[in-house]
Structure 1
Amino acid sequence: MQTLIVATREDFISMVRAAIREESINTPETKSEIDPANLTKKEAATALRVSLSTINNLIRSKQLPVFNIGKLVFIKRSDIDLYIKSKAQPGKF
């Protein structure tokens, strides 16, 4: 069954924007609570407060291990913690 909606141009644009906003909020890329033990490269960059290119360099130099599921790249939270611990220098500020 199809439904016909009659709307002004402005109402239509508003409905489309609302649908897009709702869809983008519910995507796995924006919901880190899906699996907090595994992070995307973007989430890892946010967690370490570095740029995405820094994360890519760490991965390329094998300082930060990753795993793939299909085309998606993930980093284990525990590997991020190990990386931080390896870079920690006691007594330095």
Structure 2
Amino acid sequence: MMNANGIGELSPKEKELLMQLEEIGQLANSISERLVMSEKKLSERENELIALRHKMIELKSENQHLKEVLQAWRERMESVLNQMKTIN
């Protein structure tokens, strides 16, 4: 059948398929939006992880330096104590 515009009417099956296609399109858009949000969150987490790794490296370096300082002071204290023993 032709409507007033000269376009044929859709059959019930065509209407059903068109509705299903529209539903699939909406679902695809929804999934796409969720995927974009997930990728954004993942990127944020990766950036946090990178920052934490840099901080960890920095803290390890500082810890090593403090161990060396502590060892130097321990050696000095032992030296002073040994000198005091020889004086007494």
Q: TM-score, normalised by structure 2?
A: 0.31
Bigger relative contact order, structure 1 or 2 (CA pairs below 8 A, ≥6 apart): 1
More helix by share: 2
More strand by share: 1
Q: For the pair shown, which has the larger CA radius of gyration, 1 or 2? A: 2
Q: TM-score, normalised by structure 1?
A: 0.30
